[in-house]
């Protein structure tokens, strides 16, 4: 899609709430052919809001859960902003705009992004329509890359990713495999984990194993609820 945008006279930029050095590392790791800009103080989203182009959501909650899955220090002085897509002309006419609205259906903004081809088709349609068509409205029903997994499956993967001691995020770290690959690898830990409990019931006093299982379940539930509750503070970036 980048080549198509450039052929039409445009340019592509990726804006992240991470510091610039992490944006640069991601650019190199993913071998991207467009510029990545770190904006931890959310100056660009605020400008977009002030100009009535696009208002993103930001997660203002505790980032401790993200830190569990990262081998770098999570630096979000004003929280991390949720995904969005904005295409504008040099005359500031909006060709396309979409924002992720955190909800249960997209796992609080974790998944469900518009596909690149869909976005380009929408931009191309706006270009063909001409300036008289005005600004493109917010796209509230885009063609997404993949549907979100059931919430219970997502939570199970987070637990397995933390080796069943606590939920651990799939936060990006330089040099790591993609999130879908790590997701599948983590989920494959469940059968051996379940087998250990089966063996425990078969070989050890059942009351001991049952007590251990109940305590483990209680710990995991408390950890997830507390962690998710501290993190899930979503606000629009409008000031």
Q: What is the pLDDT of residues 34-90, one digit of tens each?
A: 999 999 999 999 999 999 999 999 988 888 888 888 877 777 788 889 999 999 999
Alpha-carbon distance of 123 to 95, in angstroms, equals 5
One domain, residues 55 and 134: yes
Using the 8-state DSSP alphabet, how is residue 34 labeled?
S
Range of the domain at 164: 151-230
Tell me how many domains the chain contains: 2
* Consecutive H or E run containing 234: strand 234-236
101 band by pLDDT with thresholds 50, 70 and 90: very high
CATH of the domain at 130: 3.40.30
12 band by pLDDT with thresholds 50, 70 and 90: very high
One domain, residues 175 and 199: yes
Distances (CA, A) of 24 to 2, 29, 136, 176: 18, 9, 31, 15
Contact in structure between 92 and 142 (CB atoms under 8 Å): no
Contact in structure between 169 and 71 (CB atoms under 8 Å): no
One domain, residues 37 and 61: yes
Strand segments, DSSP code E, in 50-185 are 57-59, 80-81, 84-88, 94-99
Closest CA to 142 of 106, 171, 177, 191: 106
For 4, list phi and psi in degrees, rounded to 5.
-65, -40
One domain, residues 68 and 155: no
One domain, residues 28 and 122: yes
One domain, residues 118 and 49: yes
Structure tokens at 73: 């220090």
One domain, residues 127 and 92: yes
One domain, residues 191 and 102: no
Q: What is the pLDDT averaged over residues 136-157? A: 91
Alpha-carbon distance of 51 to 39, in angstroms, equals 18
One domain, residues 226 and 132: no
One domain, residues 24 and 126: yes
Beta bridge partners of 88: 94
Which of residues 74 and 133 earns the better pLDDT score? 133
pLDDT value of residue 209? 96
One domain, residues 132 and 169: no
One domain, residues 116 and 158: no
Q: What is the pTM of this model?
A: 0.85
């Amino acid at each position: 899609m980048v080549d198509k945008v450039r052929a039409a006279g445009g340019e592509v930029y990726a804006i992240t709430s991470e510091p610039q050095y992490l944006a640069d590392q991601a650019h190199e790791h993913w071998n991207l052919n467009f510029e990545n800009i770190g904006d931890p103080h959310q100056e660009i989203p605020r400008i977009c809001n002030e100009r009535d182009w696009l208002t993103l959501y930001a997660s203002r909650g505790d980032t401790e859960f993200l830190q569990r899955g990262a081998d770098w220090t999570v630096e979000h002085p004003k929280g991390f902003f949720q995904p969005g897509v904005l295409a504008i002309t040099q005359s500031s006419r909006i060709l396309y705009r979409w924002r992720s609205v955190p909800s249960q259906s997209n796992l609080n903004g974790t998944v469900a992004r518009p596909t690149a081809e869909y976005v380009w088709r929408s931009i191309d349609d706006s270009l063909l329509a001409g300036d008289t068509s005005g600004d493109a409205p917010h796209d509230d029903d885009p063609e997404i890359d993949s549907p979100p997994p059931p919430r219970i499956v997502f939570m199970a993967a987070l637990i397995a990713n933390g080796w069943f001691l606590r939920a651990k995020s799939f936060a990006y770290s330089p040099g790591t495999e993609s999130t879908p690959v790590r997701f599948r690898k983590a989920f494959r830990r469940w059968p051996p984990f379940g087998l250990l409990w089966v063996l425990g019931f078969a070989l050890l006093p059942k009351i001991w194993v049952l007590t251990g299982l109940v305590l483990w379940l209680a710990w995991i539930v408390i950890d997830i609820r507390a962690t998710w509750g501290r993190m899930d503070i979503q606000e629009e970036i409008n000031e």
